[in-house]
Structure formats: structure tokens, C-alpha cells
Amino acid sequence: MWDTSRCEFSPAWPARRRGASLVAVVAVLAGVLAAPAAWGVNLVEHEDAQLELYGILDVGLGYLEHSYSGSDVLASTVNSYNLNSSPHSFTGLYSGGASMSRVGLRGAFRFGSGQQVFFRLESAINVTTGVLSNNGQAIYNNLGGLHSANSASAINGQLFARAAYLGVSDPTWGSLELGRTTNFSLDQTAQYDPLQAALLYSPVGYSGGIGGGLGATENSRLDESVRYENHAGPVRFGAQYKLAGDKGAQSAGYGWVGMLAFTQGGFSIEGTYSEMTNSVTWPVQYSNVVKPDPNVQLENTKGYMVTAMYTAGKATAKAGWEDITVSAPSNPNLTVRWYYGLLLPKPSVNASGEQFLDLYWVGGDYRFTRQFNVEVAFYNIDTYNRPEVGKAYWAQAYSLLADYQFTPGFDTYLGIMVMEYSGAGLDKHAPVNAYSSNGMYGIGVRYHF
């Protein structure tokens, strides 16, 4: 599972935004300013430097037709996307329905003739419990028996799980980021998904395996990576490389991502291609059907995503296509037991055979007024795996998100996602079988600062 920010920090010199400066926040907390309007005001901003504290808090009341109990550490509280065997439903508060809740610190210092150095440190939080979001722990909590919602992610209890990087940029030569960077396909998904990667209401918003990670959700955010981006007129391009890390932990893999995009007027198109070697992932296709596997899996992944968008007046149409292949790792001798600080009961296993996945979506939004917007989409997910893999199933999703903005920083939304499944994978763990449909319905509030 994964989510991308709707207010990402740009490598370009930051403009004035809703986020309050750190000085403003400290002043408010100290009681120096009594007026709530101080939020979003840069009280101190030097000519060549800016430091900003920002975040999104998203909490809602939801109903999921089939679900084990909500998780205290899962970034979205429940899992609205994966197959589920629970005869019970979930009704309660959730965190991060439309946007993953987060808080971050970003800054930049400008020098020379437009060059700058910038950084970003961003944490994921569960608003309903006040803890750092930790999807790995949510899986781990079910190893003794399935009792609560879980799913894999790149968000696994790290202090700065969503991003941690230092970068430099030049008006001509582009930007370079070093550290834990976001995958190009993650940013692409948020921009071209009709529901803007809404966490509980969009399949590609919920699952990094079919969204930002192109085969492995853990690759939606890349540790020990270098990311380069530039543009030439209407063309944007970029490249990203992840270096191999600890051979006994989740950072063992390495690989690269390429991005090319074109924008002209109301039309834009973007493509990304990724190849990752010896990736470490925790397989969770059935972790809400039977208890999760007590080990991670090593695999090679490669995939591409092509998306397009056209805006005319108040309406925007969006579409996307993905093709992903998962195969055995290049190094079958690696042994991994550590997963984001968790020591797993059993050593890693290697992927076998070849697993294939195709996905397309189509949809859009219409802004009825400045405050009210409606987004709708259809998603078709086809895992046409070879027989020896035995995981084939098909999924279709119908999604809607209606949003009303009270102020530029505060909104409320109504979300719906209906999932339908078919194929041999539903009976893979018979006599425990997955349900052939599930539905997520909720209303939420969201505050940007």
C-alpha cells in the first residue's frame, strides 16, 4: 500500500503555500499568536531561504462489507483492495481515506543564479491512534492467526517513511535528489489516477504493487537512491537508480526507473519503465484470506505505465495502462529475514515461474463549482499468471469520490469503491475461500496545513 502527497515540494524555488513556516508554528504553540489565521502565514521568510512545516490530516467514518478488525498501525486502518475471507464487516473511524495522513519538514536555500539546495523529511501517521503508520507491523501482528486488517507497503514505521532526501537544482541542468526518494511511477499514479490515488477508494491508490512500485509495493519509495529530473520546453524526463543495500534486509535489491512526459495545453501524456533486481517484498495477495506468510519473497520485477489526461473547461478525462512481470531473483542465494526492523520467523523464499499482471483504468472528474468536485473511475486488473503460479484472478473496481472544500485547506468527502473478483485464485486456500465482492463506503474530513 502506498500513497503520494497532493502537495509535494517542488525542486523549483517554493512559492507561498498553505503550509505554515516553522517559525509561525512555534509561535502559535508558544501562545505568541492567538489568532488561528496564523496557520499558513510565513512570519519569517528570508530572501534566499525557506523552512516549512506542513502536513495533511485525514480521518473518516467508513463501512467495509468484508473485513477483519481495523488495525491500529495500518496507514489506512482497513484493507479495501485485497481479497478478503471475513464474514464480518467493519464500521468505524479510519485514518487516511483520501490522502495518507502525514507531517513533514521541507526547506530550500537559493544561491548563485537560481541554483538551490533543498531537502524533505516526511512521516506517515495514523490519526486515529497517533502512531507512526507501520504496515509491516500490521502484517506481523497476524502471523499467529488472522484477526485484523493488513497489507504490505513502503510505509513501515520509519521516522520518515514517506520521504527523506537532500537535493540540488539548477534552472538549466535540472534537479538531483539523494536518499529515500519517491518512485516516478508513484508521482505519475497520483497525477493520472482519476481519484488522485485516494487511499481507500482507488485500487492504484491503495496498492503500490499495481501503482507506484510497478510490481512490488516496497519499490514505490526507494531507499539509497538517486533521482534526476529535467525538462526541455513541453517535455519532462528523468531517471532514477536504487543502489543495493544490506543483503540480509529489505534494501537488498537494486534497479532503475526512467520517465518521459509531454504536456501541451490541456493535454498531457507520461510513461515510466522500471526494472528491479532482487527486490524484497512481503506477499499479501491472500493475507486477508488466511494468515500471512512468515517470510518475505525475493523477486525481479519489470513493468511500464502509460497514462494520459485531457482537460477541457470544468471536465478532465484520465486513462492509464500498466504491464508488469514478476520472476525469480537474479541471485537465488540471498537470505533475508529483516523487514524494516522486524525479524521474521522464517528466511526469505524466491519467486518461481513468471507472474503477469495487466491493468487499465479510465475516468475523470467534473468541477461543478469552485468548491464541489466529483471524480469517477473504472479499473480492470488481470493477473493472467501461468498455471504453476496458481494465483490467477481478475478484479474490477468502480470508484467515486465527491469532495467539497469549505476553505482552501479544509474539505469533506464522500467515497465509494466496489470491488468484484473472479478466477481460480478465490479458491486457492479452500476450504477458506475469498468473497467475490467487497464494498467500501465512507465520509471523511481532511485538513491541509
DSSP string, 224-237: EEEEEEEEETTEEE
Question: What DSSP string describes 15-36?
Answer: PP-SSEEHHHHHHHHTTS---G
pLDDT at 353: 81
Which segments of the chain have a pLDDT < 50?
Answer: 2-41, 43-44, 387-389
Q: What is the pLDDT of residue 314?
A: 97
Q: Please name which of 411, 401, 193, 151 lies closest in space to residue 282, comparing C-alpha atoms.
A: 151
pLDDT value, residue 405: 97
Q: What is the dihedral of CA 109, 51, 218, 330, to 10 degrees?
A: 20
In a domain, 47, yes or no: no
Q: How far is CA 315 from its chain centroid?
A: 25
- Please check whether residue 421 lies inside any domain of the structure: yes
Distance from first CA to last CA of the chain, Å, rounded? 24
What's the pLDDT score for residue 33? 31
The CATH number linked to 316 is 2.40.160.10
The amino acid present at 160, given as its one-letter code, is F
pLDDT given for residue 104 in this prediction = 95
- pLDDT, position 390: 53
Please indicate, yes or no, if residue 159 is contained in any of the structural domains.
Answer: no
Q: Is the peptide bond before 171 cis (omega within 30 degrees of 0)?
A: no
The Cα-based distances of 446 to 76, 127, 206, 306, 399 in angstroms read 14, 11, 18, 30, 19
Separation between Cα atoms, residue 428 and residue 39, nearest integer Å: 52
321 CB-near residues (< 8 Å, 6+ apart):
305, 306, 307, 358, 359, 360
What is the number of domains present in the chain? 1
Residue 233 in any domain: the answer is yes
Per-residue pLDDT at 156: 97
Is 176 within the bounds of a domain? no
- Domain-embedded: residue 115: no
Q: How far is CA 175 from the centre of its chain?
A: 22
> Can you count the helices (H) and strands (E) in the chain?
4, 22
Cα–Cα distance list, 310 to 24, 189, 305, 313, 372 (Å): 39, 15, 17, 10, 20
For residue 242, what is its C-alpha cell? 536504487
* Other CB atoms within 10 A of residue 408 CB: 10
Q: What is the structure's pLDDT at 32?
A: 31
Residue 323 located in a structural domain: yes
The whole domain housing 193 covers 53-97+124-153+183-448
Would you state the pLDDT for residue 47? Answer: 79
Q: Which of these, 76, 140, 207, lies nearest to 342 by C-alpha position?
A: 140
- pLDDT value at residue 45: 67
Distance in angstroms (rounded) separating the CA atoms of residues 225 and 274: 14
Cβ atoms of 150 and 133 closer than 8 Å: no
Residue 336 to residue 190: CA distance in whole angstroms: 31
The Cα–Cα gap between 119 and 171 comes to: 17
CA 272 distance to own-chain centroid: 16
Segment (H or E) for 427: none
Nearest alpha-carbon partner for 149 in 90, 219, 206: 90
Q: Is residue 29 part of a domain?
A: no
What is the C-alpha separation between 69 and 52, in angstroms, rounded?
Answer: 37
